[in-house]
Amino acid sequence: MGMRPNYHISPKHGFLNDPNGLAQFQGKYHVFYQWLPDVVPQGNKIWRHCVSEDLIHWSDQGCGLKPEEWYEKNGCYSGSGITEGDSYYLFYTGNVRDSEGGRETYQCLASSSDGVNFHKEGPVVYLPEGYTPHFRDPKVWKKNGRWWMVVGAQTKELKGNVALFVSDDLKKWQWKGNMLDSSMDWGYMCECPDLADMGERQFLIVSRQKEDGCKGMVFAGIMDYEQGRFHISEDTGVLLDEGFDFYAPQTFTDESGRRLLMGWIGAGEIEYQMSQPTVKEGWLHVLTIPREVYVKNDRLYQKPAEELKHLRKNEESICGTGEIAIDRHSKCMEILAEGLENQTITFDFGKVIKFLYKKESGNLLVFRKKWNGEGYDEKEIHLDKLEDFRIYLDQSTAEIFLNQGEKVLTMKSYFTEDTLIHMNSELQIKVKTWLLEEED
């Protein structure tokens, strides 16, 4: 089966990027993603549609939105989904390019009564004064009986910000202004904005483009709906995911009230993306597993959705000190290590993913083997302590959750036939592994 993952959403062929339109409608989970039929990162983007009843088995529904109208003729760009009564609404950016490279963008609406067929209702937000056409990725939610929309923006001063709108009927929108403090450094563009309202605390998620790269950030604060401003708490801007490959996350609230998140395991410069081995198989990139986000210690934590436990089979458990070696002969598994406090820990999976936690410094050094075989990519992450980690491996991806999701690392990892797990600890630790359900 090559490098295609088993339980992550991936395209049958072509290029995948941002998750779009996430919602639960009439009991089913809906995920769209940006898609091109060929393995190229640029083109007239389509919304590909997937549906699931359990968040782990996904059915491809084909193209949900295709660029067919004048206001979207060069692509149906990213956006969000909401449900209200018997209707499912999609908000997205219509992209228009002229022969000289000029751009127009429109925030558009499509609606459905069955979650399958969507009727396009055209643009509902036009570009306000003060912004360049880099104005995209509408995210909509309901608060205090009104509808709110954030749009990723670049001002005429070529500074990133987030535009805020309000509506009473989803069709007529009033611009409220910039939601963010313009004196802060938001880079040159804010993409895929999202506001996760977690009760007394709100969290702004934004994919910030700066000269040093594109990163998904999360900021804790308070949303002032009267003034239309998001007031950021001091020193709260952190990476939502500290891995090598993560961008464009989006959250939604399901029918049980959980706030779930999915992101794109991709991004990076075009050369980096096109160097990946799956290009030869005719497809590129995947989405993350569904994650539940929750608040702990005034921070936003992430954990795998509970439904993923249903993929488990053939549990094995080992307790030990010093050298531990486990080989499940699989590249599709879950690994849980507990009891790691107050010690230096090393971990190695197949000589492709390695990390070292140093108790003296609190630094976690992460290594991911480069797919051309020449050395390792490296990251250094600080933790006050390391208590546990949980890893989801799926053929060519790895998602690592540290300390019940205090920090998360997502990465492409093209595993070899070597599936040996090797750990070294100073004190006794407990390691559980599960094989995860594989397709026939």
Residue 269's H or E segment, with its range, is none
Measured distance CA(359)–CA(303) in Å, rounded:
24
398: tokens are 């790895």
Give the pLDDT score at 345.
Answer: 95
Say whether 208 sits in a helix, a strand or coil.
strand
Q: What is the pLDDT of residue 236?
A: 67
Per-residue pLDDT of the chain (440 residues; tens, 9 = 90+): 579 999 999 999 999 999 999 999 999 999 999 999 999 888 999 999 999 999 999 999 999 999 999 999 999 999 999 999 999 999 999 999 998 889 999 999 999 999 999 999 999 999 999 999 999 999 999 999 999 999 999 999 999 999 999 999 999 999 999 999 988 899 999 999 999 999 888 999 999 998 887 889 999 999 999 999 999 987 668 999 999 999 999 999 999 999 999 999 998 888 999 999 999 999 999 999 999 999 998 899 999 999 999 999 999 999 999 999 999 999 999 999 999 999 999 999 999 999 999 999 999 999 999 997 789 999 999 999 999 999 999 999 999 999 999 999 999 999 888 899 999 999 999 999 999 986 65
Both tokens of 311, joined, read 């993929």
Q: Helix, strand, or coil here: 278?
A: helix
Pick the CATH number of 14-304 from 3.30.1300.10, 2.115.10.20, 3.40.309.10, 3.30.450.20: 2.115.10.20
pLDDT score, position 235: 65
168 is catalytic: no
Q: Is the dihedral of CA 307, 191, 205, 361 positive or negative?
A: positive
Measured in whole angstroms, the distance separating CA 279 from the mean position of its chain's CA atoms is 21
How far is residue 50's CA from residue 9's CA, in Å, rounded to a whole number?
Answer: 8
SS3 category, 273: helix
In contact, 328 and 335? CB cutoff 8 Å: no
What does residue 307 show for φ and ψ, rounded to 5 degrees?
-60, -25
d(C-alpha 47, C-alpha 56), whole Å: 20
User: Cα dihedral angle (85, 88, 92, 98), rounded to 10 degrees?
Assistant: -120
**Residue 2 token pair:** 């090559």
Q: 57-72 burial by CB neighbour count: b if 16+ within 10 A, else e?
A: ebeeeeebbbbeeebb
**CATH class, 309-436 region:** mainly beta
Task: Please count the other Cβ atoms lying within 10 Å of the Cβ belonging to residue 388.
Answer: 17
In the chain, residues under CATH classification 2.115.10.20 are 14-304
Catalytic residue among 18, 137, 241, 245: 18
What local confidence, expressed as pLDDT, does residue 77 receive? 99
pLDDT reported for residue 439: 60
244 by DSSP, 3-state: which? coil
Tell me whether residue 8 is exposed, middle or buried, using C-beta atoms within 10 angstroms of its C-beta: 0 to 12, 13 to 18, 19 or more.
buried
What lies within 8 Å, CB to CB, of 17 at 6+ separation is 33, 34, 35, 41, 45, 248, 264, 266, 267, 285
